[in-house]
Chain A
């Protein structure tokens, strides 16, 4: 597996996952994300952690998983955890990834529920959280930019991307309907216009 990927051209993209982590390492890595992702942006954290830092997956593989996690029903970040876990260690990898991401964070959330009355009394708490939240959107944004760069292989995907963006952000159409219309149309187009063989195998 190691060292075969040299065709990635996106800046900052890293290639060649070179070692398969064990279940304990997978659990800890996901727990770290579940416990540190203040303000949201979990998929952005995952991209940073698994692709750029640990190099367990390459960027193309991650973004493929992201597309599927987005388009399929379920909580995105949990879908993505299932996907990545499976890619790393099969079914057990999936289970461990989801448990790592959800369970420790669940205890924190419930613990915080008990303290909530205290915390929310301070104005500073809200200000700090708003700032963290805004920076966390930056994580999603950089992931969106990376995904957009990779998706924009010709005029049609760019048009589809723009249409989806506008439908959701500007026209506030329900996500479910946007996906149900855009995904089949886009897949049909991609099926009819396969990329040149010499291109990147993602």
Chain B
């Protein structure tokens, strides 16, 4: 039975590893559907707690998957779920990195790099804007993000300073 759950974790998260494009957020709804609706591993409230937790702690947001695994099957579950979500796509990128080094400077490689550059820039900016428009804090969130981006672009200030500043601004105006 227990082994069965571990196997299921693998079967659920390995495909999600490949479906994650442009950041972990894109598969959160799928993780929710599988672990709450399909397999009933968690209640809705438990899922939301784990989601909030994954946002609250440092590190990749996709550690949500680790937490789901942990909740479902303890340490073995955490380990397996993490492997399932991180390893397959990492191997793919590893292969890509080898290929890139081998054909360094090839014209097709140049074209791929130049072609992907505007796509990636658009994705990064869109992701930032999407997060901000959904963020608690409304206008203040935009101001804090805008100011910290401007500071990072023009000075060598530590990001810690900015995170602290953001926290302080919110405590001052929103608490």
Contacts and interface: CB of A to CB of B under 8 A. Distances in A.
B49 A116 contact: yes
Given A78-B89, A140-B128, A168-B126, A129 B55 contact: yes
B144 interface: yes
A45 B159 contact: yes
A75 B123 contact: no
| Interface SS of chain B | helix
A138 B130 CA distance: 13
Contacts of B76: none
Contacts of B89: 72-75, 78-79
Nearest to B23: A76
A71 B62 contact: no
Nearest to B116: A67
Given A128-B170, A130-B136, A131-B167, A69 B55 contact: no
A153 B1 CA distance: 57
Interface in B51-86: 52-63, 66-67, 70-71, 78, 82, 85-86
B93 A68 contact: yes
Contact of B59 (A106, A134, A136, A143): A106
A98 interface: yes
B7 interface: no
A134 B132 contact: yes
A4 interface: no
Interface residues of A, number: 110
Nearest to B131: A137
A174 B29 CA distance: 12
Contacts of B145: 134-135, 137-138, 141
B97 A86 contact: yes
Q: Which of B56, B119, B120, B126 has the most C-beta atoms of chain A within 10 angstroms of its own C-beta?
A: B120
Most buried by B among A36, A48, A76, A131: A131
Contacts of B38: none
A3 interface: no
Interface in A90-135: 91, 94, 98, 101-102, 104-106, 108-110, 112-113, 116, 119-120, 123-135
A74 B92 contact: yes
Report the 9 A-B pairs with minimum CB-CB distance, sorted nearest first. Answer: A74-B89, A105-B59, A138-B148, A135-B166, A164-B122, A131-B170, A187-B115, A168-B126, A191-B111
Interface of B: 17-24, 26, 49-50, 52-63, 66-67, 70-71, 78, 82, 85-86, 88-90, 92-94, 96-98, 100-101, 105, 107-108, 110-133, 135-137, 140-142, 144-154, 156, 159-160, 162-163, 165-171, 174-175
5 contacts: A109-B57, A113-B53, A135-B159, A157-B114, A174-B26
